Amino acid sequence: MSLSSEPAVAESRHKPIPRRYWIWLGGVTLSLLGSQMMAFGMTWVAAVWGGAFAGAVLTAVNLPRVALLLFGGALADRVGAWRVMITSDFAMAGAALVLGSAVLVLGVQPYLLLGIALVIGILDAFYLPSSGSMPRRLVTGEPLARAMSARQVVGQLATFAGPSAGGLLVATAGLATVAFVNAGTYVVMAVILVGLRPRSAPPTPPPPAGAGVRSAVDGLRVAWSDPVLRSALGLIAATAAFLLPVSGLLIPLLATQRGWNADLGGVLAATIALGVVAVAVTVTTAGPIRRPGLAAVGGLALAAAGVLGLVAAPAAAAAITAAAVVGIGSGLFTAHVGPLILGGAPSTHLARVQSVLVLAQSLPLLLTNNALGSVSDLFDAGVALTACAAFLLVAATLGARSPALRRATLAIAR
């Protein structure tokens, strides 16, 4: 990864984000809303057959996604991210239309939910690495960090609005309508991608025999061989393992065990999300900190302190304050580590490095959600949160000791 000088970063700080990026982000916003609505609708109707079946539906999405991610990244780098995304969007629209039509004819059936879950997981494995590389393909230089922060704002807002809209729609019009609406959002996204797609691209030579698997795992080799990517992805894995479960799993458990009402649990989770959004908006408008590695490490340590604050909070006001600290720390981390990884990836391996990034986020979470839930049952949620804070502080300390992270700037690798 090449390192740029700080004056060069300062000179480009006010460079505008290209209009093409905002058009793409508008399509992403609509697509994310549709996906969140669909996910909530599927989980809601699956719960009729019990929690075990609802968990099976989620597993049917996650397993093929994790298993095929490396191949999805390799395919995108091989045939082109634009082609993979356009094909996946149209395929997802077709699958949603089939689901909606089948529900109208047959009603909501378990095998339909499992089938569409598998399709979503497979298509996500190919779509996510390509989509993750898009900011780098549309934005160059320092604006990349601001562009990615804007993408983060969109993601958080979709997470807020999507489930509510999905719940309202599935309650009033049924799962079939949710599926048709979701299909429409994918068609719009595909049309936007067709319009933005570059009209010319250099020809790609055919791969040698047996190169498929080697190409798929080559993202792992690139990520491991670069000290900045290796350290940053290690922090991503630690965050996925011990920070993401705080909001989604441990805060509801903590609220239940301490006799707090459900409203307070929701306020705490929302406060964390708002803290992330606040930092993302600030970075989008004012630009990132010049030493993103140090900013990411500092954000991780701040989030760990906030998690400890949740454990020690004697009352609602203190818990909300601690949740805000968690959100701000999380926002500092994600707003700086993401551009560091995407900017440091070689242009020949953009999607493959993104597939490694998604793996680093997905695999630890699959393990620690179960482990932390068991710790909460054996002891209490405070013990699980304390363990999360301890591991996050260890990760932040190791990150601060990395010379590559301390020196890293937001340069673009060639």
- The CATH H-level superfamily of 218-414 is MFS general substrate transporter like domains (1.20.1250.20)
Which residues, 6+ apart, have CB-to-CB distance to 166 below 8 Å? 36, 37, 38, 39, 40, 41, 44, 178
Element (H, E) at 166: helix 143-172
Spatial contact of 325 and 311, defined as CB atoms under 8 Å apart:
no
Distance, in Å, from the CA atom of 22 to the CA atom of 105, rounded to the nearest integer, reads 39
Query: What's residue 97's pLDDT?
Result: 95
Distance, in Å, from the CA atom of 239 to the CA atom of 98, rounded to the nearest integer, reads 37
Spatial contact of 209 and 41, defined as CB atoms under 8 Å apart:
no
Which residue do the tokens 């599927």 mark? 42
Give one DSSP letter per residue of 216-229, joined into a string. HHHHHHHHHHSHHH
Query: What's residue 210's pLDDT?
Result: 46
Tokens of 393: 């502080």
Distance, in Å, from the CA atom of 48 to the CA atom of 256, rounded to the nearest integer, reads 23
From-to residues of CATH 1.20.1250.20 in the chain:
1-197, 218-414
pTM, two decimals, is 0.78
| CATH no. of 1-197 | 1.20.1250.20
Distance, in Å, from the CA atom of 7 to the CA atom of 236, rounded to the nearest integer, reads 28
Digit-by-digit pLDDT tens for the chain (414 residues) are 433 434 444 444 467 889 999 999 999 999 998 988 898 888 788 877 876 787 788 788 888 988 899 899 889 888 889 999 999 999 999 999 999 999 999 998 999 999 999 999 999 999 999 999 899 889 887 788 889 989 888 888 887 777 778 878 888 888 999 999 999 999 999 999 999 988 655 444 444 444 456 666 787 888 888 898 899 999 999 998 999 888 877 887 888 788 877 667 778 878 888 898 899 889 888 888 888 889 999 999 999 999 999 999 888 889 999 999 999 999 999 988 988 888 888 888 888 888 888 888 888 877 887 788 888 888 888 898 999 999 999 999 999 999 988 887 766 555
Distance, in Å, from the CA atom of 404 to the CA atom of 408, rounded to the nearest integer, reads 6
Query: What's residue 3's pLDDT?
Result: 38
C-alpha torsion angle, residues 8, 12, 14, 16 (rounded to 10): -170
Question: 273 in helix, strand or coil?
Answer: helix
Spatial contact of 392 and 303, defined as CB atoms under 8 Å apart:
yes
Tokens of 345: 């990836």
H helix intervals, 345-402: 350-378, 381-400
Give one DSSP letter per residue of 286-321, joined into a string. H---S-HHHHHHHHHHHHHHHHHHHHH--SHHHHHH
Which residue do the tokens 């634009």 mark? 82
Give one DSSP letter per residue of 9-46, joined into a string. HHHTTTPPPPHHHHHHHHHHHHHHHHHHHHHHHHHHHH
Spatial contact of 327 and 274, defined as CB atoms under 8 Å apart:
yes
Exposure string of 237-271, with b = 16+ CB inside 10 Å and e = fewer, is: bbbbbbbbbbbebbbbbbbeeeebeeebbebbbeb
Distance, in Å, from the CA atom of 256 to the CA atom of 251, rounded to the nearest integer, reads 8
Query: What's residue 10's pLDDT?
Result: 42
